[in-house]
A = this chain, B = another copy of it.
Amino acid sequence: MKKLATFILAIICFQVYAQDKTLAERLGYSKSDRLLIIHADDLGMAHSENAATVAAIKNGVVNSTSIMMPCAWSTEAGEMVADMPDLDIGVHITLTNEWHTYKYAPIASKSEVPGLVGLDGFMYKDCASVAQNAIPEEVEKEMRAQIEAAIKIGIKPTHLDSHMGCVFYGRPEYVLSYLKLAEEYGIPAMMNKQIVDAVIKPNALLFKDIDVDNLILIDEVAIANPEAYDEMGMEAFYTDVLNSLNPGVTVLLNHIAYDDAEMRAITTRFTHWHAAWRQADFDFFTGQKVRDLLKNNDIKLITWKEIGKLTDKNLILSEN
């Protein structure tokens, strides 16, 4: 009975990790402000993605992006953003190569990360295969190689996030490496309460050096899914997101490219996340409607750079 009581108490104590201030307040906003990062994933994946994403930043409302360093076009992305020093540009940690006919391999030497390399010599297509094959040391090595590669092409990464979420849906150790590397490079890593609940809390021992109380957690992550694309269409989906945005910090993820020959070939046999999907994202985030929605709903755009300033004062890792 005493044991059970201790166990329940431990659970209760662990769950009481809520920070005194909301992230919005820590950033200098009020608790009721609706704060938004409009974030384009997959920069560097293709020329089409680069050209459209940069256009959506320059001429649209996209104000943050992150780069897939293992892809053939990451160098071009680096050149394209060289004259935009204020741009939010994170490292989109990439552990998978989901496309059927367009290929990329890890940045790290294949012999050093064999668990990230499929039989075809490229990355696996899905997170489950990564989780099954890649030991944590390999994933950490590849994450570091991707961050270093970004720095090498002139990027000063503003944050880390995870392509297809494979860091979160893999092994808990991947999340630990992700947080440790963010700490090491002094930048925030995209995290939310769901990941804390699903990965960190059930593995308390593994994360014993992580100061969970001070983790920067995004309040909400919004992203179109296949159902939204098929049933509502992108404009209706995003309109709904922006009209019903909760107070706090939301990251709205999108994937911006042109519906052109290159992107259609890359996404061949994909019925979602494909060229038309990415063109729809481009169209929405460069149009007038999104500007009206942001204004009418009094939504304030913020950046990972602003969030990054908190990392100086609030270390992700505890100091012991």
Contact = CB atoms under 8 A, between A and B. Distances in A.
A75 interface: yes
A261 interface: yes
Nearest to A266: B47
Given A47-B261, A109-B109, A101 B79 contact: yes
A256 to B, nearest CB: 15
B109 A262 contact: no
Contact of A71 (B72, B74, B262): B72
Q: In the assembly, how many copies of this chain are there?
A: 2
A100 B76 CA distance: 8
B47 A76 contact: no
A114 to B, nearest CB: 9
Interface in A64-109: 71-76, 79, 100-105, 107-109
A265 interface: yes
A48 interface: yes
Contacts of A122: 75
Interface residues of A, number: 36
A153 B103 CA distance: 12
Contact of A107 (B72, B74, B76, B121): B121
**Which of A121, A122, A153, A260 counts the most B-chain CB atoms under 10 A from its CB?**
A121
Contact of A260 (B74, B103, B109, B261): B261
Nearest to A112: B111
A257 B146 CA distance: 31
Contact of A105 (B76, B105, B260, B268): B105
A51 interface: yes
A262 B47 contact: yes
A76 B101 contact: yes
A318 B103 CA distance: 40
A265 B103 contact: no
A149 interface: yes
Given A101-B73, A102-B76, A103-B75, A51 B109 contact: no
25 contacts: A47-B265, A48-B261, A48-B262, A71-B72, A72-B104, A73-B101, A73-B103, A73-B265, A74-B103, A75-B100, A75-B122, A76-B265, A105-B105, A109-B109, A109-B110, A109-B111, A109-B112, A111-B112, A120-B152, A121-B149, A121-B152, A258-B261, A260-B262, A261-B261, A261-B262
Given A75-B100, A75-B103, 16 more contacts: A47-B261, A48-B261, A48-B262, A51-B265, A71-B72, A72-B104, A73-B102, A73-B103, A75-B101, A76-B268, A105-B105, A108-B110, A120-B153, A121-B152, A258-B261, A260-B262
